[in-house]
Structure 1
Amino acid sequence: MISDLKDRLVTQAHEIGFDACRVCRPWDVPQVPERLATFVEKERHGQMGWMAERMHWRGNPAALWPEARSVIMLGESYTPEHDPLEILKHPDRGAISVYAQNKDYHDMVKKRLKRLARWLIADSGGEVKVFVDTAPVPEKPLGAAAGLGWQGKHTNLVSRQLGSWFFLGSVFTTLELPEDKGEVDHCGSCRSCLDICPTKAFPAPYQIDARRCISYLTIEHKGPVEEDLRKLMGNRIYGCDDCLAVCPWNKFAIDARELRYAAREELKAPSLAELAALDDAAFRTLFSGSPIKRIGRDRFVRNVLYAIGNSEDPSLRDAAQSLLDDPDATVADAARWASDRLG
């Protein structure tokens, strides 16, 4: 029976390592096309041109694979063991987003999705496709439609069981599985995530302007960052966890089961001076297997120099000056800016 299959699916997902497994239909997110169009029309996607290029698929999951009848949405906890905001009190150290302090979650989540997909085919047939972040799939709206959580005022998915700290993945299938009820909004009058944002990246609750988001600026943005925004980035050198970390629902979050999500000791509070000295080979070695590797040495060192410029620590001026003649123009620009700020 289909209902028995659903129960077996949920059990299998938990055994594989997922902490939540729920089902919706590909067409259960009718609000997405209009919201995405508004986001792009206002140019809030910044340099992420791929969001505009694949709007048809990103706005309509049913168009991505018309034969699909169910979307299995999976959640996996990566709840940190330490306070992600503590590092902000140490301006000579770099703040790296929790999810990037160890192995690349894309690889691990995708492996689990493939295991679940293979099990589903062996058990009940049908066809499947798996997605984790890299395809034009509106994962957060689908997660809300399936009942994994709701999109909070910071636009990220929030769960009453997992808080803000969980990865999303999806398995599209031609099987018609029993669907779950969508989750309702439990943010209430809370605006902690909006108020803590250093760059005021939220024009209104439930809206984000990526061009002001530190996660976007440190990861997706190419070239120099506007000077007014550099000053607000503090010591955040890859991503930003502020809006996630202050969510009250995190007090209910379960611990991460995957040990490879636990922070590597050397990435909890890395020295800005040491990071500024990385050449390409050393950068690749340090961040082997990490999502940080994909932005490359130049963009990463640019971020480190912005943090050095914000540190108010004169002892870091030498680290900045050593890069004044860096072959990468953006790095050299960041080095001049940091040197001037400390001088």
Structure 2
Amino acid sequence: MADKPAYPVQLVQPDGRRVLDREFAPLVSDIGAEELRDLYTDLVVVRRIDSEATALQRQGELGLWAPMLGQEAAQVGSARALHPDDYVFTSYREHAVAYCRGVDPAVLTRMWRGVAHSGWDPDSVNMTNPAIIVGAQGLHATGYAFAAHLEGAEIATIAYFGDGASSQGDISEALIFASSWSAPVVFFCQNNGWAISEPVRLQSATPIAQRALGFGIPGIQVDGNDVLAVLAVTRQAIKRAREGGGPTFVEAITYRMGPHTTSDDPNRYRSRAETEEWKARDPIDRVRRLLEREGLIDDAFLARVQNVADSVAARLRSATIDMPDPKPEQLFDNVYATQTPLLADQSRDYAAYLDSLEEVRS
């Protein structure tokens, strides 16, 4: 990887004008009219997924949701840079990554509704379920990448986390191991400005990407609201990892437009003016303006995109509401790969207790 730019990589400005970048623009030279429309469709659909899930939580259908409003380009651009056999290690906010990896929208909310310990089979899409322990996925991605490398597999892993997680020991440990082992892993930090209520300036006195340099890992900043720039930078990092070049740290500068989770009120700690400033950099509006400038958008296309978004949202909503509640005795399933004698005893005792309750009710 060439020396990192002194500024975030950008290929499309907020007003839709392209930026001539001799290093990174060629990495997305294959993105023609149809591919650009596809990226726009992805952005619109995943925002609709997010708004639908947020509404479901407000209506009492979900226990919690971690919104990604404003971070669509960082997730779609990076996800579309991955190969099918690359493995994704996610935090709890990468709903767009999950969609791009092929996760059925019907299972995106299972964990958040509280009816299952996970949402999907990780090996079916090469992506883990949401990691609630902040930063732990960095170690998981590094270990998986190193093991795959030892076995001769030419794949990469990518670990998604936020600016707050970069202050966790797990991330520092992952960077140490990845550097020492030259593990084929990409650390993808979505710097969305706030670690819950703490601004990023309290997380790091320097750009977060520069931290990686102290571990011997190249770091690069990218405009996280520019889907083409994110796609280009992530493609470069993934290529480097798959070809034996070792780890890369990507810091995508973006903004969390909504709350940290649906239990949070961002109006208590940040100003309306700050939010309005970032609205002008909206990642979806940026691609739409690019499409308009290049004559690639019309009412028929917008209608098709809206139909896709409506269909996905309807599937997510109906599937969520129709999810059956698990039976209480399922609490003991999947605790271990093979049930232990102690767990079997506890399961029988609990079943007997449930039976006793039924006798009292009858």
TM-score by length of 1: 0.24
TM-score by length of 2: 0.23
The higher-RCO structure (CA 8 Å, 6+ apart) is 2
